[in-house]
Amino acid sequence: MTTSEINGDLLTSADASITYDAIVVGCGVIGPCVAVGLARKGKKVLIVERDWSMPDRIVGELMQPGGVRALKSLGMVQSINNIEAVPVTGYTVFYNGEKVVIPYPFKADSKPVEKLTDLVRQGNDKVLEDATVHVKDFEDDERERGVAFVHGRFLQNLRDMVAAEPKVTRLQGNVIEVLKNPKNEVVGAKVDIAGRGKEDFHAHITFVCDGIFSRFRRELSPDHVPEVGSSFVGMSLFHAKMPSPNHGHVILGTKHMPILVYQISPSETRILCAYNSRKLPTDIKSWLVKDVQPFVPKSLRASFDEALKAGKFRSMPNSFLSGRQNDVTGLCVIGDALNMRHPLTGGGMTVGLNDVVLLMKKIGDLDFSDRETVLDELLDYHFERKSYDSVINVLSIALYSLFAADNADLRALQRGCFRYFQRGGDCVKLPVQFLSGVLPRPLLLTKVFFAVALYAVYVNFEDKGALGFPVALLQGFSIVFTAARVFTPYLYAELIG
């Protein structure tokens, strides 16, 4: 039975009299992967979701190659099949009318995809052939592939995989409390179930996967709260003519905020327009006409103008939250509930899915009733995940600062970054490896970021000429200081904090 054939009795009949190996709170993107992975490892799992119907959201629509690789490791990559998903082969970056094309990295430059024992079987680490996803592209091509899709369709596939696992019990209800014993250890969850009321369910470990608006992340610490500094306003463009097919598009300029464009189905394209405040403009349509429309590439203007007329605008807050140790016995917070980054770089699912891969390797084969051993492994897991999560998280906030460019130094860095990409070679190869989630080396990211900053200083010297040397020298110090200010605190928070 699939989640598209939801039966109310089935989804409200979970047995509260037994102790499960694991309770998973939330069935977004990460929850299903945790539940399926644990079930394939032989664990008895209860997964609780407030609403099992297909969601309609504008987040989680573009997955970088690092996320696709993680799905392969989990034996769940066929979740991108038969949903009219659009393969992504790289990025096109526009800057004041100029553009540079950045393809995804070669597979030979990354380690082979790891196949997790018990999870990968019967070819489930390979995509299937369908109308839009082709085996030759994802399995045989020399370059990595990302993928974009309608979020709800992808999630429905993940939920169908959950339904197919005999060791997983699905429950529709609202988790209202994390249960604790007198030692302050987590022992399960209290769930409000329609027709049954509030019931306690017990497990050796409870996984909190309730997403960006998590109610339970504070179980780790009262101050584990995300920072919200900006927003995206999104629209659906239909039958848009893409400047670079199968590419994500980043549109930059000195007179406007970043604009992201990527195709999510053969007929639908998502456009996300950055607004540098957590509070949206009072008149969104007027703002889009004034501050976005003039900078949309010509090939997209017809579909953009139609979307403006339709007036179906949606927004999302852009949050940042460094991960914390899972140091509460019986509890594991994972996904956006634990750790968030700016969505500009599309790295959220990549971090979350790689977290699941690492989690399965660390605790998948343990006896969850041995809670002390599980806790020790979760503490190690926190430090092992830093290599990839710090790269993706810090890159997201650093690039947003450069691309939003709300002062002269950041505008100089923005210009220098684009000129750096135009150089090609390693000036493109390394940044796109970081972006795509296949190069988990934070110190190398630091080296590359400050190489970009120094190149921005050089570009500024060139622009000023010999007569402007004294001014350019002073500006050079200011540019490097600004680069350090937008990069170093976040790197410290990720690696040390």
Domain boundary among 319, 341, 365: 319
Query: Across residues 478-494, what is the average pLDDT?
Result: 95
Q: Residue 491 belongs to what domain range?
A: 389-495
pLDDT band at 1 (very low <50, low <70, confident <90, very high): very low
- Model confidence over 133-187: pLDDT tens digits? 999 999 999 999 999 999 999 999 999 999 999 999 999 999 999 999 999 999 9
The band of 9, judged by pLDDT with boundaries at 50, 70 and 90, is low
SS3 249: strand
C-alpha count within 13 angstroms, C-beta hemisphere, residue 91: 26
pLDDT attached to residue 464: 87
Residue 5 has pLDDT above 60, yes or no: no
Within a domain: 347: no
Structure tokens belonging to residue 253? 């300029």
341 within some domain: no
Residue 402 maps to a domain? yes
Q: Judge whether residue 3 has pLDDT over 50.
A: no
The domain total for the chain is: 2
Residue 44: phi and psi, rounded to 5, are -90, 120
pLDDT of residue 357: 98
Residue 417 domain flag: yes
- CATH (domain of 232): 3.30.9.100
Exposure b/e, 16-46, CB count within 10 A at least 16 = b: eeeebbbbbbbbbbbbbbbbbbbbbbebbbb
What digits encode the pLDDT tens for the residues 286-344? 999 999 999 999 999 999 999 999 999 999 999 999 999 999 999 999 999 999 999 99
Mean pLDDT (whole number) for 413-434: 97
Chosen domain end from 274, 299, 319: 319
Q: Are 219 and 208 in contact (CB under 8 A)?
A: yes
For 132-141, the pLDDT digits (tens) are: 999 999 999 9
Residues 314 and 396 in one domain: no
